[in-house]
Structure formats: C-alpha cells, structure tokens
Structure 1
C-alpha cells in the first residue's frame, strides 16, 4: 500500500511571510538553480516580498494543507501580445520538503488554478538547467513534456547556460 501524497495549498503572499520566505531564499542549495541570488538579510527579503512578490499577478506561497506556513513559492508569468497564450513557471521549496512530492503537488495545483485564473493560457513552460535533475523529474511527474535543449539560452549567475524547455499544454479552459 503506497503512502498518500502530501496535500498542498497555494495562497497569496503577505508581509507576515517574510521569515518563512527568508528561510529558503537564503539557502545556497535552494537558490543554486534560481535566476536570483540568495538573500543575505531579512530586510532584503522583506523588500523583495513587498515590491516584487505581493504585487505580482500570480506568485503564490506553497503551504502544506492545514498549515499557513509558506514552505516555498510557485509563480506563473504570462506573456503579452502574441505570447499571451503561454506562461512561464518557476518554483522553489525549502530543503526540508525535498523528495516528499510536495513540489510535484504544487506544480499540479498551479496548473489547475493558473490555467483558470490567467486568461487565455494554453501552454505553461518551464526552463530547467541540465544538471537540475530533481526539477526535471518534478515537471515530468506533473505531466510536462521535455521539448528540447536550448543552447546558450540564459545568463545565470554570471555564465551563459543551456536549459531544457519543458511544456504543459492546457487541453481545455476547465483543466
């Protein structure tokens, strides 16, 4: 008999989440594959949450169902103009919750909610560095397809990097 997966809920961030956010955003292992540098002070984290996270259209806290503690984040960034049919997904989670299925559950939940809330979304994309095997596995378990390798695609922490492109095609608005 298999274990029941941990249930997650997604909610909007508030300033009271700064300590929780700082817990994973200041961890070198968690931020190793992130586009942003790790946070070195709670004040820096507070400014980011206040000025970037809270005003963002779709930047959610990941919580274990039954708890309000933000253990990670997941975001969708919808394109504009001819790219408005797609959104890019990004996420991070506290190291304490790695290898527990929490991130996969958060991605699945974000697909369900985000595809309804973001008008006209038919495709969700995620970029993953080739050495970030765990993130690639999360996406595959959530139903994403690896479309290919984008060579010399992004500058990440001072170096030009390749990325795998993963996508999830939303089959209907009521997905």
Structure 2
C-alpha cells in the first residue's frame, strides 16, 4: 500500500527546508528527501542543465515512490522548477500531495542571504543567477503548480503557521 508523499515546492528560499524540518519534528515517522542532498550523490559536479535536472528529478520521484510503496511517509524538499516532475510524481504515487510555497523573489533572496544552515543547498544562488547560472526564478523558469492541494504565502506566514496548515492537510489525507 502506498503511503503519503508531500512535495514542498517553491522558489529557492521560499521555506521548503525549514518547513520540512518543522513537519519532521511534528511527524517523526516522515522521511525527508532533499534534492540538494540527492544531487550531491547523483551529480557531484552539477551543471544544472535541463538534461541533468531531468535525470535527478526522475531519480527523486523514483526514490519517493519506492519509499511510499514500502509504507514510509515522505516529505520531498525540492524546488522542481518544471511542473512535469511534480506531475510525474502525482501520476506514479497514489498518496501524492503538492504544497506550493509561494513567496516573492525578493523575500526568497533575502532569506537565502541570511541562511546560516543551507541544508546542502548551494550558497549565493540568486547572485549566481544574476551572473548567468540557471537558477529557478532568474535564469531558469519556475512553473508554479496549477492545482496544488495546498498553497501557502510563506512571506506572510510564520514557519509555525505554515507547518500547522500542512499538518492539517496531512491529518485530513492520512490520519495515521
């Protein structure tokens, strides 16, 4: 039986890792899959090309599906700037739920600058994006979800409020 998989998506700096950690504190049985950690294993010297992103995101979806099929509840902490990767997860994982963390690019950049713990994410990504690197929301497109199960304005909500909203979705969809 497939278990719940929550995909936290949004621009870099929108709060994905912070909320994933907050959810894990509230629901210790969840496994967190962080794209930044997976990328370091799959592509130790990333180029962030479309082909490379496609390969890494497909590996992430496969890992989430496998964990879900084994009965683990999963939180995916990944920008997933292309909708097709989230749609693939929705297609393959019966317990899939998408949570869109909507945050202004200016707020995301300020948060990214202030980070002390990047949780594996590269530093100064917005600065790199303005210099030509393919950063979602700057040099690479970010395709916002069309019908997420939950959309949160993370530049106006506190992390605690956002975690509570997602916890409500979890309890509604998977009351374990």
Q: Which has the higher helix share?
A: 2
TM-score for the superposition, normalised by structure 2: 0.31
- TM-score, normalised relative to structure 1: 0.32
